[in-house]
Amino acid sequence: MPNRPFLGLPSKKLVMSLGFIAFLLSTSPLMAQDPICKNGLRDLKGSFDVLQGRGGIWAYLEQTPGLRDSSMLGLQVDGKLQRLIVVLETMCKDGKTPTMESFNGIQSLIGDARVLFNLNTDKTTSEEILTKVKAIIKSSDDLLASLGQ
């Protein structure tokens, strides 16, 4: 019988083996994409849902005096942001690892769109708002192109 003062405790060898296996599993490629594909994607969808819960950029432009005629640009922004999220989601489902740069780009664009809702339309001109909307569209197009879309 081995000389173990605490018979109910596992041996050091067993604990070390389990620790080593846990380390290997935590550094696998599948775990490397986990932050973006699991948590990151959930965060992007949540931020986008907040934006859409308020009607999206389309509704913002529809409700802003002097910008109703340009509300189709808002539909473009809403659609492109949704498409970027779907592209990222598809990459994750296909086992491809999205880059942190693409994730941050999408996150930034959604943030820019959400900032539009906080603009005081009394102090911000229609031209300034349209410039911001067009910049989001351009950046979305560039990001979609970099993702092969």
User: Is residue 15 situated within a structural domain?
Assistant: no
- Residue pLDDT, tens place only, 3-54: 555 555 556 665 555 555 555 444 444 444 468 888 899 999 999 999 999 8
Domain that holds residue 55: 33-146
User: Is residue 96 situated within a structural domain?
Assistant: yes
Q: Whole-model pTM above 0.85?
A: no
- Residue pLDDT, tens place only, 102-123: 999 999 999 999 999 888 888 8
Q: Structurally, how many domains does the chain consist of? A: 1
User: Is residue 8 situated within a structural domain?
Assistant: no
User: Is residue 3 situated within a structural domain?
Assistant: no
User: Is residue 108 situated within a structural domain?
Assistant: yes
pLDDT of residue 12: 62
Q: How far is CA 9 from CA 5, 6, 76, 99, in A?
A: 9, 6, 62, 44
User: Is residue 11 situated within a structural domain?
Assistant: no
| Closest by CA position to 57, among listed 129, 138, 122 | 129
User: Is residue 7 situated within a structural domain?
Assistant: no
